[in-house]
Structure formats: structure tokens, C-alpha cells
Chain A
Amino acid sequence: MILELQNVRKYFPIKTEVFKRTLDTVKAVNGIDLTIFRGETLSLVGESGCGKTTLARLIVKLLPIDAGRIIFDGKDLTDLSGRKLRTARQQIQMVFQDPFNSLDPRFTIKRVMLEAMVFDKKINLQQKEGRIFELFAMVGLPENIFNRFPHEFSGGERQRIAIARALATNPKFLILDEAVSSLDVLIQDQILDLMKDLQNKLGLTYLFISHNLRVVRKISTRIAVMLQGKIIELAETQELLNNPIHAYTKELLSAAMEYKVSDQTQNHFLNDHSKLTHIANGHHVIHSF
């Protein structure tokens, strides 16, 4: 296994405007246990607001964690800070949804790429440039884009740049947060193919976050469905698509595949203490009381 999450929690307080009294809390991530194996693609699906992105931010420690432990590659990341955290983070990189916002508009592509390697003190500038060319070749970008700016590229090209940047530190683990959602279907396919190709070449592990099961099934080894800060169902891709158990998974599937929602959409209530239970063949579903 490469990443293990143990009972991870993140609550956001809702405060009053003036006196900052806490009115309520949003349980964005509410006790998640999850193991991701080396070389697999685990997809996290769910509707907006279910806590997918918060979980991703907790893993890279862009947000402080409230409770639980994060173990990456045998090392406990939970309490790391400073230089040790920076070293560990080189192994985990992120690709964001919107390539129009994730690249600084005032940086040339060269600067975007060099910035990602700023902590790499072992190689000099020339070697870094050589490395960037290697990365460009890997993601299918030409070499002559060094001095151009992000706005000169199309959405698909920008996402390739973002992937090249994520790979600059030689990571083992990539988090792709809605990385293809803003692209049209043909470009989506190209980027998914590129990611599969890179996974084979570099032995990467992916955490792929998306709301769309139709996209997810093309790339995932396993799929985890999230609702209200909890994982409610987890299984291998084919198993989950063929035998969804939880009512919400079924809803999500029919919405993604056929654009159908039943008129009386159920409200799903999850107990704080409900846990994933193993059914068979690695198929887990939450046990609601």
C-alpha cells in the first residue's frame, strides 16, 4: 500500500458575522478510512459539497487535519511540518480542475516549470532545463513553448503543462482533482489516455477525483463513492458499476449514464458512527443504522 488514511476528520465551523460565535459545524470529512495500493487508480466520486476536495487537501496537508492519521509510503505525515513536510510533499503532487487558474498568468512556461523544481538542489539550471524537455516529451508538448505564457494555450494543452509540472519532482502519487471536468469530451479522452500511459511508464499511483462516473470508469481500478463526508461504497470498477448496493450509488449511476433522476430523490441520512463493512470480493458498503 502507498497511502493509508485512518479515521480522518475535518470539521469547518460556521460562525456568526460579528462575534464569531460558532453556530454549527460542517462535517466535510467525517471519519474516513481508506487504503490506496501502489500502482492503482482509485477514484473518488460524489456530488459537489460531499467533501472530495477537502479530503484531497488534507492528504497533501494544505489543510490542517482535525483527527486521524495519514500514512504515506510507510511514513506518518500527520504531524510533519517544515522541511520534513516539504520533502514528503515532493512525492505527492496535485493537478487541479481549472488549468486557467492553476497556472500563474504572469509566469512563462519555463518559470512555471522551474518553480516546481525550486527545492531540488542536486541539479543545476542546465540539468533542470534538460529535465523539463524530458517532461514535455512525456506529456506530448513541443520544446519551443519555453517562453510563452499560459494564455497562449488551449485548455487541453494547459492541462498537459499542469501534469508536466506535477511530474517535475518525480512524485510517486498524483492527486487529480476534477482534472478533466473543464475539457470537452474529445480532449478528456486524450488526457485520460496520457495519464494511463504515464502510469505505466512511471509506476504512478492516482487518486482521481470526479463527479462523473462516466469519466471515472475509463481510468479507475477501484471507485469510492462519497456522501456527506463519508465513503459510502467502495469496490472494483466493474463490480461497482454492475452491482451498486447503496441507494445513493444507484442514483449517481443513473444520473451519469442516462441523465435520469427519480422524482422523489431520497434524502440520505448518515449516522456519525456508521462504518464501511465488507460484503464480498473487496466490495464495501456503509452500514446505516
Chain B
Amino acid sequence: MSRPLLDIQDLTIKLRGQQDERCIVDHINFSLQTLETLALVGASGSGKTTIGLSILQLLSPAMQMTNGKIYFQNENIVEFGREQLVKLRGGQIGMIFQDPLSAFNPLFTIGFQIEESLKYHTALNRKQRQEKILELLDIVGIGDPKRIVRQYPHQLSGGMRQRAMIAQVISTQPKLIIADEPTSSLDVTLQAKMIGLFKKLKKEFQLSMILIVHDFGVVKAMADSVVVLSQGQMVENGKAQDVLNNPDHSTTKKLIQAAGI
């Protein structure tokens, strides 16, 4: 029997050097099918971003994965060497960060930074890369791509930066995108537009997604399945519809009520 696209087993993460037994991520199991959108939901500090980072093996040195296996396309990422990881990050798995201003390097133009991922992850030559960049920026809804490629991150508005980052992430045609609070720093009108864009891209590029959010409104609009976290533990897991209609755990109920949907 083949495994799902992503299969996380018994994932446990602790603070390095701490004597106490408190886990940041406490024996978590979940899996993600191809083309599925799974939402990791929880209050701040519940461990949702930590799980996202551990999938890319990008945990800060202060944290240590003490147990668990992360299977992506039947291979255990935990056993990957440096070279394999470089291919994986930004290639097979893309990550969209919450704050698009700090995710870009302020010293380089948008075009340069998108080209960088194309250079490392595709076999396109320089001219093809330039064409590809313009095409990508057009797909994510940037009106004047020729001008934008020459601009620096600070010259763009929050929504534009977010779009440029999405263009960079999809440029390598990843199988899986991890989006960490992709809409939290935007105002509601933009949030709605971004969610529309994600839905469009999912279809066009055959993407699977892990969505890290605290807002059940976003879950309702986008997710197929949900994992609810509280203090590092998984308290609920199921189809988005079922969880929204019949929340079981008190944390889930509180989160749904607070979202005001």
C-alpha cells in the first residue's frame, strides 16, 4: 500500500537542554493526501508553526526533534542529508511566510529573487527564466510585471509582496506548499482576494497545501481537513465540514466561536 503524499508519525519536538519533559510538539500523527488542503489550527504558541518548520527541517537550533518520522513521497525526510534537503526546500516543498516583508531580502529586486529559485531548481536558461518570471507574476495577478521585476520589496504594498512571494514559491512547481498565516497581515478585502488566488493556483498547479492559521474563517473558506492543536498536542482531527459543524474538543469550540463565523 502506498503512503499518502505526506505522512507524519509520532512527531515530538522539545527545547534543547531543558530538563523538564514539556514538549513543544507532543507525539503528533497526521497525513495529507495529494491535492488535499489541510489546516493546522491553534492559538499562538500551540506549536503549529513549529510543525510546519519541522517538515522542511528548518527548526531553530534551540529546538530538537526527539522522535518521529516525516514521510514525503515515501521517503523519510528526517534521514535526508544536506543536499537532498536543499533540493526539497523551495523545490518539492514551498513555504509561504506570514510576513512578506521579512521573507524577501531587502537588498535585491523581486525579479532577481524569483530568478534565484528558478536557477537552483530548474534547468531553464537565462532568457527562459526571464520569460517564466513575467508569466508567473501575471498568473498571481500582478498587473504590470515588467515594472515589478525591477522593484525592491519595500516599494510594493503588502498585498503585492504577498503575491510576489507566491509567484516565487510556485515558480519551481512544488508538490506541496506550506502556508504559514498567509493572510493574517492583510486586511479583509485582500484576505478574500488571496484565498481566491490560492484556490485558483491549487487547481492550475495541482498543489497540495498545509495551511497554518488561527482563524476558522479561513479554514471554512479553504480547507478539506483540519488538525486542531493545543499546547503541542493534537486535540482534534477530521474533515473540515465535520469539525466545523460538530466540534468535539473545548479548544476547537472556543476557536470556532472566537472566529465569529
Tell me the A residues contacting B by CB distance below 8 Å: 47-48, 154-155, 183-189, 211-215, 217-218, 251-252, 254-261
Interface size class of B (residues with CB under 8 A): 20 to 34
B190, B193, B222, B258: the one contacting A186 at CB < 8 Å is B258
Q: List 24 A-B contacts (CB under 8 A).
A: A47-B187, A47-B188, A154-B44, A154-B45, A155-B44, A184-B214, A185-B259, A186-B255, A189-B258, A211-B187, A211-B188, A212-B187, A214-B259, A214-B260, A217-B260, A255-B189, A256-B188, A258-B220, A258-B221, A259-B191, A259-B195, A259-B222, A260-B196, A261-B196
B258 touches A188 (CB 8 A): yes
A259 touches B189 (CB 8 A): no
Contact A213 to B214, CB < 8 A, known contacts A185-B259, A258-B221:
no
Provide the residues of chain B in CB contact with A258, threshold 8 Å: 192, 220-221
Beta-carbon nearest neighbor of A211 in chain B? B187
**Which residues 174-220 in B have Cβ within 8 Å of A in the complex?**
187-193, 195-196, 214-218, 220
Contact of B43 with A by CB under 8 A: yes
Nearest Cβ on chain B to A276's Cβ, whole angstroms: 22
B187 touches A186 (CB 8 A): no
A184, A252, A261: the one contacting B193 at CB < 8 Å is A261
Contact A259 to B43, CB < 8 A, known contacts A47-B190, A252-B189:
no
Beta-carbon nearest neighbor of A259 in chain B? B221
B43 touches A187 (CB 8 A): yes
Q: CA A261 – CA B44 in complex, angstroms?
A: 28
Contact of B68 with A by CB under 8 A: no
B217 touches A48 (CB 8 A): no
5 pairs of A and B residues whose beta carbons are closest in the complex = A255-B192, A259-B221, A211-B187, A185-B258, A184-B214
Provide the residues of chain A in CB contact with B193, threshold 8 Å: 261
Beta-carbon nearest neighbor of B221 in chain A? A259
11 more A-B residue pairs beyond the given contacts A154-B44, A211-B189, with a C-beta to C-beta distance below 8 A: A47-B187, A47-B188, A48-B187, A155-B44, A183-B44, A185-B214, A185-B255, A255-B192, A259-B217, A259-B222, A261-B196
A251 touches B221 (CB 8 A): no
Beta-carbon nearest neighbor of A215 in chain B? B260
Contact A186 to B254, CB < 8 A, known contacts A48-B158, A218-B260, A261-B193:
yes
B188 touches A255 (CB 8 A): yes
